[in-house]
Amino acid sequence: MNKDHELLLEQIDGEKDRLVRAFQDFTRIDTMNPPGDTRAGAAFLRRLLDDHGVPYKVIAPQETMPNILASVAMTAPGRHLVLNGHIDVFPAGDRKAWSHDPLCGDIVDGAVFGRGTADMKCGTTASLFTFLYLHRLRDRLKGRLTLTLVSDEETGGLWGTGYLIEKHGSEVLGDCVLNGEPSSPWTVRFGEKSPLWLTFRVHTPGAHGAYPHVSKSATKIAARLMLDLEKLEELRPNVPEAVARTMAKPEVRAAIDRGLGKGASEVMERVTVNFGTVRGGLKVNMLPGECIVEADIRLPVGVDQNEVRAAIARILERYPEVSAEEGKHRTFNANWSPPEHEMLRLIQDNAVALGGTRPAATLTLGGTDCRFWREKGVPAYVYGCTPGRMGAPDESVLVSEFMHIVKTHALCAFDYLSRG
């Protein structure tokens, strides 16, 4: 730990109460998506920037989904680092399933409690304060630091990161991206699986339930279709050598299972098919004439989406009653950045220096906005809190873990911009 690190950590520790309070207050603001109105959350983050006299732009192609873009040029030329976090979070679902209100933001058993704490108000708060701390130190750094706080991540990024890169690419692409999505202290993510969302609609004439000779049952057809679609999980990836070499390490597989649950390392390497919703039928004694199935198909590195589309087309040849439509969000193949990149090493080294575990370099199961940068050839890396009950009732993040993420991000950003 050098003197610059010690001074930076001294500032962060001295403002711990303020940092934790900001995390709590952010959690208390409803930014659930859907419906996706993040204006109050964005206004809160803007006030934090205003309090430090930091200039920024609000870019809102959709009025209810504003994005915040701030950038600071250091005193010497160098590399451009981008910090990325999102404001919107999953819906809370059935509030009766929560032991505390999902918008309480209270500290319970040492953890900040509420919807979106893990995904990703912990990481977004860390990105914002990393930007503020380095903004103070800009006369000692090189290059440029950009902060992107976006909306619409949970519904595909069309009006968030995707829009910023398409319309403001010269400002936000950079040389490297540091993202605080949940990863667990045991892993740093350099790539991710690809989601392919499809809606299958089954249509038949329908009939009285006592007259199955008049019409086929839409729900029975849907049931057979789902069994056939599950066979997509038998597709085998052609994994790039650098990724295969990294993922084969026993310590990497152990870290994945520790952070995401036993079996996660196996799931990460294969196609998975989940039927998120199935809707069909009007009444128990009516033969259904319609059934709608929504499928979430996740593809690992080494499986091309077009290969899966072709396999689905072959399945649908046997089902003339079925039509299929892809989700309107931007689709990507599974993507990855070099697992030997400097930023990944900085994350590992600084995590250890702060008294934590050396996080293993790995892929991740869920999608992040990093995919937009990777598609443009910009390396992007994810280090954040434990996923825990992310997306489930009683989502929470330990205060100690939140502080560790803030410190790790601040040190990594400082190192990257002091060496460039």
* Backbone phi, psi, residue 40, to 5°: -65, -40
Model pLDDT, residue 420: 67
Model pLDDT, residue 366: 85
The residue with tokens 């989940």 is: 274
Q: Are 117 and 22 in contact (CB under 8 A)?
A: no
Q: Is 55 exposed, middle or buried (0-12, 13-18, 19+ CB in 10 A)?
A: exposed
The residue with tokens 């990594």 is: 412
Sign of CA dihedral 373, 376, 378, 382: positive
CB 290: neighbour CB atoms within 10 A?
17
Domains of the chain: 3-192+334-419 (3.40.630.10), 194-241+260-326 (3.30.70.360)
Distance CA 410, CA 45 (A): 18
Write the single-letter amino acid at 125: T
CB 388: neighbour CB atoms within 10 A?
20
Inter-CA distances, 156 with 34, 100, 177, 318, Å = 12, 29, 19, 31
Greatest C-alpha distance within the chain: 82
pLDDT tens-place string over residues 30-72: 999 999 999 999 999 999 999 999 999 999 999 999 999 999 9
- Segment (H or E) for 273: strand 272-280
How many percent of the chain have pLDDT more than 70?
100
Per mean pLDDT, which range of 246-250, 318-322, 385-389 is the poorest? 385-389
Distance CA 413, CA 400 (A): 20
* Closest among 43, 38, 105, 49 to 72, alpha carbons compared: 49
CB 212: neighbour CB atoms within 10 A?
12
- The answer, yes or no, to whether the previous bond of 120 is cis (omega within 30 of 0) is yes
Token readout for 247 is 């993922």
Distance CA 333, CA 240 (A): 13
pLDDT tens-place string over residues 126-157: 999 999 999 999 999 999 999 999 999 998 89
Q: Are 206 and 215 in contact (CB under 8 A)?
A: yes
- In the predicted model, is pLDDT for residue 328 greater than 80? no
- In the predicted model, is pLDDT for residue 330 greater than 90? no
What band does 319 get if pLDDT is binned at 50, 70 and 90?
very high
The pTM score is 0.92
pLDDT tens-place string over residues 159-183: 999 999 999 999 999 999 999 999 9
| 3-state secondary structure at position 148 | strand
Q: Are 348 and 408 in contact (CB under 8 A)?
A: no
* Backbone phi, psi, residue 58, to 5°: -105, 120
